[in-house]
Structure 1
Amino acid sequence: MSEPISKDTAEHYVWGKVCDGWHLVRSSDLSVIEECMPPGSEEQRHWHQRARQFFYVLEGELTMQFDGRTVALKPQQGIEIAYGVPHQAKNVSGADVRFIVISQPPSHDDRQT
């Protein structure tokens, strides 16, 4: 039976030395992660063979680069990234950005650089 979950009770991990992630849903067919990126942080540009992802901003501004475009997402905005599309998330603002990443199937073993 499912129980309520929050970042206070979820499994936590650190990525990119300064960014935080909390596994809100971690199953074989779906991943939902809350992430926090401090100012000036970014992930390595990468793509996924199978996973499609949806990034949804809770607080701050998330900059996404993909398909030769740069898109700044503000709170209550999101964007889908299809599998096979190289992309990179960045925080070029002066404040933390908090967002949700939904991946189907999960993307952790599917990352290509």
Structure 2
Amino acid sequence: MGDLIVLPGQGRKLVTKAQEVTFKAGEAQGSDVSIFEVVVPPGFDTGAHFHEQSQEFFYILEGELELLAFEPTERTGDDWLGWESVDGERVVRAGAGSSMFVPPDTPHAFRNATDEPVRMLFQCYPSPEHEHYFEEIAEIWSTGRAVDAEAVQRMRSRYDVKQITPMRFAPPSEQSSGAAVDS
């Protein structure tokens, strides 16, 4: 357990075109919580989803994200951006210093609608569920080909990710040409 102190820039990294994840603490350190630093590229949208067992915490360090963490009056279509709760909650645009806690069974999503990367701290309980998830999705993203949406769905179902709307990644350079990757 010699890696209990992790300095800036340190930690095991997974880097793909769709994300950069740095493992800060988790199963290897004996933690019940997995903690990551995540760089969310422009155009990345997790899609609305929920977890039956996991709970998550997101803290924006730099940049701005659109956030959702509520049950909508109706889970409509392929897009969560217009959802509203019974109490009138809507998607929030949140900047540095903002956080989002997500209990089990709560629909949630985030999207980077800016043209700058966003850096956030992400915690998930229980460990190591999301550690293995990030490893496997990095492998899928790194193929260099169009992402196989069915492969992503099979993988997500193994990790307690119940997808409601599609995950999307369309970097600004590809948005103008109409190219997008749905998964």
TM-score normalised by length of structure 2: 0.55
Gaps of 5+ in 1: none
Letter aligned with residue 102 of structure 1? Q
Aligned partner letter, 2:125: Q
Shift, 1:3, TM fit: 3.4
What residue number does 2:123 align with?
102
Whichever of the two has the greater Rg, that structure is 2
Mapped partners of 2:4, 2:126: distance in 1: 22
Is 2:103 aligned against 1:77? no
Report which of the two has the higher share of strand. 1
RMSD: 2.0
How much has 1:46 moved relative to structure 2?
1.7
Using the TM superposition, name which of 83-92 and 42-51 deviates more. Answer: 42-51
Moved more, 79-88 or 99-108: 99-108
**How far apart are the structure 2 equivalents of 1:32 and 1:90?**
20
Length-normalised TM-score, structure 1: 0.84
Q: Secondary structure at the match of 1:85?
A: coil
Larger % of helix: which?
2
1:67-92 CA deviation, whole Å, 9 max, x = no partner? 23211221111121111112111101
- Does the Cα contact within 8 Å between 1:7 and 1:24 map onto a contact in 2? no
- Structure-1 separation of matches of 2:39 and 2:8: 11
Alignment of 1:54 with 2:57, yes or no, is: yes
* 1:63 matched residue in structure 2: 66
Aligned match for 2:111, one of 90, 96, 102: 90
65-74 or 94-103, larger mean C-alpha shift: 65-74
Shift of 1:56: 0.3
The count of aligned residue pairs is 112
Runs of 4 or more, structure 1, over 6 Å off, are none
The sequence identity of aligned pairs, in percent, is: 27
The residue that corresponds to 2:25 in the other structure is 25
Is residue 21–residue 37 contact of structure 2 (8 Å, CA) maintained in 1?
Answer: yes
In structure 2, the gaps of 5 or more residues are: 71-83, 85-89, 131-158, 164-183
